[in-house]
Structure 1
Amino acid sequence: MYVCNPLSPPDFLGRVKGVIFDCDGVLVDSRDANRMYYNLIREGLGMLPITPEEEDYVHMHSVTECLARIIPADRLEEADTVRRNLDYDDIFPYIFLEDGLVELLDVLAGRGIRMAVHTNRTNTVERLLRHFEIDNYFSPVVSAGSLKRPKPDPEGVLTILAAWDLPKADVAYIGDSALDERSARAAGIEFWSYKNPGLLAAMYLPDFHSLRRCLAPEAAGT
């Protein structure tokens, strides 16, 4: 696995024409927000907060899968009612853009590289992108709510490839979880691991500044 290093940018960066981003843990740091969201649902049912293991799970999976994991089956309808009554705007103050993201997006856009989002969020990703004023960078935005099969199924990646009409060899997927890795591999595109060196990836990104400097050597000193 190549570790992204501006001093020796890999040759394969030169052929990239499209980059797909995961959302949670990649575009944004939302771990605290996700924990709060699902704890509010559990609190509404009179249940205890989620466990650390459950926290890891809800950070990666769709809301349907998460509720099935943390709520008893006979209370799922009740949990869904609690969820629909939550105001997600109250969660936004606990979500933060990843450091260096906007600068990287500007470099990618300047090089004519297309960008998309593929996330297991169900119906909040568009609001999140608008909230941080980064929605104009991405097309398409594919969420679990628009798919028959969420990650790790390759359906979302293949939907983006079809919209772009680009060869698989020209597209990379940036993710931070095993679901992202498996989705990229199943779709036959290159996977770049963000802040998670334990994944099987073509490239490991310790931060977005390193990737930006690889793509724009003139920015190496910034």
Structure 2
Amino acid sequence: MIVRYVCSPLAVPDELSAVRGVVFDCDGVLVDSLDANRMYYNLIRERMGLLSMTPEEEEYVHAHSVTKSMARIIPPERLEEAEAIRRGFDYRDIMPYVYLEPGLRELLVLLRQKNVRMGILTNRTNTMDLVLETFDLSLFFYPVVTAGRISHPKPCPEGLHRILAAWELSASQVAYIGDTALDERAARAAGVTFWAYKNPALLAAMHIPNYDSLRQCLRKALPDPGA
């Protein structure tokens, strides 16, 4: 297993050639949605007469499911009120503040050319399809596992186990790209190799500074179909 390797096309480990599937987190990995998430939850708090989230709360909601996020930032006795406000929002109004990560599409095209399967495991609940539709990414990913489609969201490994079963691949053939401690813990619990995206503080087999570097590494490492 690669240990704390910083992705660079100048030194490509042989282990990368064994990858047959890559699972992506969504927020902070497929898209930059930090501002959008901050706006979304602060609008709910604002309509309730509450102050904006603290930096710690902003970090929490960026990684966790909407159910856990609401429980974290809303007083328990006002959760029903907050849910009613949230249901009245149209997430499409937030999408202009969500940005595709640079170099992602080119990476996905390469993985498809190399016959590497691609899936998504995210703690988003019901907005993942909208993200994929907005950026025209739906055809790249199967399966797409959200917090609303499993019993236990990350850091539970249930979602990764479901993807491994759908692909009929072993954990040693799959890597999970994430950017939070929840992603790291889910990968470790599932026995899947963890690649950290833009977060050097995580314990990961590989650290990815940007998708251009990863694409160049995988172009060298992955065998061509039929080779």
| TM-score, shorter chain, exceeding 0.5 | yes
Q: Which residue in the other structure is 2:96 paired with?
A: 93
Post-superposition CA distance 1:52-107 (Å, at most 9, x none): 11000000000000000000001101100000001111100000000000000000
| Aligned with residue 202 of structure 2, among 189, 196, 199 | 199
Over the aligned positions, Cα root-mean-square deviation in angstroms equals 1.0
Distance 2:22 2:174 in 1: 6
Distance 1:104 1:77 in 2: 42
| Aligned with residue 74 of structure 1, among 74, 77, 88 | 77
Q: Read off the aligned partner of 2:14 and give its amino acid letter.
A: D
| Aligned with residue 13 of structure 1, among 16, 30, 38 | 16
Kindly indicate whether residue 23 of structure 2 is the aligned counterpart of residue 23 of structure 1. Answer: no
Distance 1:163 1:185 in 2: 19
Post-superposition CA distance 1:128-151 (Å, at most 9, x none): 111100111000000001111110
Distance 2:15 2:95 in 1: 36
Q: Which residue in the other structure is 2:224 paired with?
A: none
- How many residues align? The count is 218
Q: Which residue in the other structure is 1:60 paired with?
A: 63
Q: Which residue in the other structure is 1:134 paired with?
A: 137
Q: Post-superposition shift, 1:44?
A: 1.6
Q: Read off the aligned partner of 1:174 and give its amino acid letter.
A: I
Q: Which residue in the other structure is 2:214 paired with?
A: 211
Q: Read off the aligned partner of 2:91 and give its amino acid letter.
A: Y
Q: Which residue in the other structure is 1:167 paired with?
A: 170
Kindly indicate whether residue 116 of structure 2 is the aligned counterpart of residue 113 of structure 1. Answer: yes
Distance 2:130 2:24 in 1: 16
User: What's the TM-score once normalised by structure 2's chain length?
Assistant: 0.95
| Aligned with residue 156 of structure 1, among 145, 155, 159 | 159
Unaligned runs of 5+ in 1: 218-222
Q: Post-superposition shift, 1:8?
A: 1.1
Q: Which residue in the other structure is 2:128 paired with?
A: 125
Distance 1:15 1:115 in 2: 15
Q: Which residue in the other structure is 2:50 paired with?
A: 47
Q: Post-superposition shift, 1:119?
A: 0.2
User: What's the TM-score once normalised by structure 1's chain length?
Assistant: 0.97
Q: Post-superposition shift, 1:7?
A: 0.9
Q: Read off the aligned partner of 1:53 and give its amino acid letter.
A: E
% identity of equivalent residues: 62
Q: Read off the aligned partner of 1:133 and give its amino acid letter.
A: D
Q: Secondary structure at the match of 1:199?
A: coil
Q: Post-superposition shift, 1:12?
A: 1.3
Q: Post-superposition shift, 1:172?
A: 0.3
Q: Secondary structure at the match of 1:42?
A: helix
Q: Which residue in the other structure is 1:220 paired with?
A: none
Q: Post-superposition shift, 1:174?
A: 0.3
Kindly indicate whether residue 32 of structure 2 is the aligned counterpart of residue 32 of structure 1. Answer: no
Distance 1:159 1:41 in 2: 33
Q: Which residue in the other structure is 1:176 paired with?
A: 179
